[in-house]
Amino acid sequence: MTDTTTFPTANPLLDATDLPDFTAVQPVHVVPAIEQAIASHRAIIAEVSEGARDDFASVVLASERADFDLSRTWSPVGHLSSVADTPELREAHAAGQSLMTAYLMEAGQNSAHYAALGRVAARPDFRTLPVAQQRAVDLALRGFRLAGVALEGEARQRFLEIGMELSELSTSFANAVMDATEAWTEHVTDERALAGVPDSDRAILASYAKEKGLDGWLITLRQPSVQAILLHASDRALRERVYRANATRASEQAEDKNFDNSARIEKIMALRHEAAQILGFADAAAHSLETKMATDAQEALSFLADLASRARPMAETELAEARAFATAHLGLEELASWDLSYVAEAMRRTLHGVDQEALKAYFPLPRVLAGTEALFERLFGVRLVPRPGVAVWHDDVIFYDLLDANGQVIAGVYLDLFARAGKRGGAWMDVCQSRFRDADRFHLPIAYLTTNFAPAAWDRPSLLTHNDVVTLFHEFGHVLHHLLSEVDIPSVGGISGVEWDAVELPSQFMENFAWDRATLIGLSGHVETGEPLPEAMFDRLLAARQFQAGLALLRQVEFATFDLQLHRDYDPVVGARVDATLERVRKEVAAIQPPSWNRFAHGFTHIFAGGYAAGYYSYLWAELLSADAFELFAHSDVSGGGGTAFRREILAVGASRTAADSFRAFAGRAPEIDALLKIRGLVAG
């Protein structure tokens, strides 16, 4: 993307095409496109809301059409800000986001539009409409109430101001994390400093150095680099430096304090609490839980506490074993936070015969993608087919059409898989376009799938760790939820409108296939010989699946409990008390106490810059659903019913019914915890 000083005649963000022309989008396009899209949306909603209209087509369908067009204009802008950041785009995105936030806050309080939807719901024949149409109206009305449609006067104005400020703070929080990630580096010119780091990882570090015009190797805070050092580097001091830099990103404890998120966190928490109280909720957690399966924060916290009590004995045993191993085999008398991954990796190799570096050789990305495509065809009867010539934002990006059993294109997905400068860390799926059957046109669902895998190096393709394979399957679960929707109304199709603590069900369901013998061996192929993963190596990997499972579970419980307590217990008199809250939660939950200078929260984008505020517990909540669903699936005929039933009852229906009803339709009963406990090793399988 490049900026220009003159505005071109055509604006690609306003093209009525299903696939954006990313090669044509420039920062200068953003604000004019958003202004025009907002003006169009406002005019349509005014027309929809006038008079006494009360039929679904002229009120709801027309509103969905307006929302679809507005979303299609903004989606490429929001996506590019995460994967192709530049100073010019960041400025344009901030301006566009400010316009969008202000308008969406205004639209959420449009009492005339709310009244029109109310008239549709009040019709005597409303409950005879298709269930998806009823659900769209019900959720829209709830959305208006949560947006403050009933507010008046000063409360209304203040709620709007808070929404604007929160949007800006969330963006600046994420930008600070991205900038802090890119700002820290350590240049290595003596290869001996990288003792223990595998050749494939050294190649990645060499490519980072080359990117900056340097010789040797460059250690960064990008995910592949951090993993390479913390898992493999023999130099303990180097591990400590990388751990410290990563654990203090965007905080007052970092070497570079220019990106400190401390003040932003305080302000975000204060504003969330104030907004919740304006709407009549006791706290931000209660506000968040209004749209989730859990009835309140206490139910979610009790669920987490139960898991913690079950996991703690195992975690304490695992930690004792790690300390004993570190002393006996690695000469480490004391186990520090920067030693944990290194020791765990050594234990996997020594005690379980699992060598992550050796495993990587069996998972070259092209083979993994081919095996993933074969899995989707086997489970759901669909095929991913690369389509050349699609305009993308980076040369690494691949676009796939999704074809049904008859060869018909039913959806599409962009894959952007490698870590690079200007790209937010982590892995995620996002919506490019929703499925929408309009009066005269059918719009296919399109998704983005983004990861930060290590890129190809030297003469080898990208090699994935087994954790990378799990991540890929996880994000593809979200993608399939979006792409295989059979609901024609965008607001309740795909992932839209699904309860947040159930939206991870398909993603975590798909993770299980990364542990399935036939699937994993089938998608493997040694980078040099092409030989599949040996059965014995798979057996060792599977046997080690629950290695340190107690510690891993407690870590997730820690994050989720911290998130809920932070939002539930906020007190305006004393502020967020982030460090104190996290310390208290760790004493209650964690088996490992990190250094006092650890500032995990300052990079916790899930809750401060994403959609997981007072909702991070949803990963474990949904894991209960997914584990139970997969156990039922595993005992069914995979080729005959399991995949078809999961697609029909979970993926296809979106939010056209509640998540609880969808699970019951698939399983024939309510979810049970037993399968989760087995997968986590808390009870015998």
Mean pLDDT of 465-491: 98
Side chain identity at residue 179, one-letter code: D
CA distance 315 to 321: 10
Task: Give the tokens for residue 338.
Answer: 């920067």
pLDDT digits (tens, 9 = 90+) for 125-175: 999 999 999 999 999 999 999 999 999 999 999 999 999 999 999 999 999
| DSSP-assigned letter for residue 457 | B
Rounded CA separation 230/362 (Å):
22
Q: Give the SS3 label for residue 215.
A: coil
Whole-number Å distance between alpha carbons of 557 and 550: 10
Structure tokens at 643: 């995949």
* Percent share of the chain, pLDDT over 70: 98
Buried-exposed string 364-394: b where 16+ CB fall within 10 A, e elsewhere: bbebbbebbbebbeebbebbbeeeeebebbe
Tens digits of per-residue pLDDT, 536-584? 999 999 999 999 999 999 999 999 999 999 999 999 999 999 999 999 9
Separation of first and last alpha carbons in the chain: 52
Q: How far apart are CA 124 and CA 131, in angstroms?
A: 15
Torsion sign over Cα 319, 620, 143, 278 = negative
Q: How far is CA 579 from the centre of its chain?
A: 25
> How do residues 278-326 score in pLDDT, each as one tens digit?
999 999 999 999 999 999 999 999 999 999 999 999 999 999 999 999 9
> Which pair of structure tokens corresponds to residue 188?
């290595």
**Residue 6's pLDDT band (cuts 50, 70, 90):** very low
pLDDT of residue 114: 98
Q: Residue 70 and residue 440: Cα distance in Å, rounded?
A: 18
pLDDT at residue 51, as a whole number: 87
* CA 111/CA 120 separation, integer angstroms: 14
Q: Residue 641 has what pLDDT?
A: 60
Estimate to the nearest angstrom the gap between the alpha carbon of 511 and the chain centroid: 14
pLDDT of res. 635: 79
CA distance 589 to 80: 38
Q: Is the pLDDT of residue 5 over 50?
A: no
Q: Do 94 and 462 form a contact (C-beta atoms < 8 A)?
A: no
Residue 153: both structure tokens together: 């006067």
Asked if 437 and 492 touch (Cβ cutoff 8 Å), the reply is: no
- Among the listed residues 318, 345, 475, 499, the single catalytic one is 475
**Residue 231: Cβ-neighbour burial (10 angstroms; 0-12, 13-18, 19+):** buried
Alpha helices in 569-604 (DSSP H): 578-589
pLDDT for the residue 444 = 97
pTM exceeds 0.85: yes
Query: Structure tokens of 668?
Result: 């024939």
Which contacts (CB < 8 Å, 24+ apart) does range 202-209 have?
202/228, 203/457, 203/458, 203/460, 204/228, 204/454, 204/455, 204/457, 206/457, 207/455, 207/457
Report the chain's C-alpha Rg in angstroms. 25
Q: How far is CA 449 from the centre of its chain?
A: 10
Going along the chain from its start, the domains and CATH numbers come out as 12-150 (1.20.1050.40), 184-259 (no CATH), 262-353+549-616 (1.10.1370.10), 371-517 (3.40.390.10)
> Looking at residue 459, what is its pLDDT?
83
C-alpha atoms less than 13 angstroms from C-alpha of 665 in its C-beta half-sphere:
17
Tell me if residue 475 is catalytic: yes
- Mean of the pLDDT values across residues 165-192? 97
d(CA 61, CA 436): 10
What's at 286, amino acid-wise?
A
What mean pLDDT do residues 450-478 have? 95
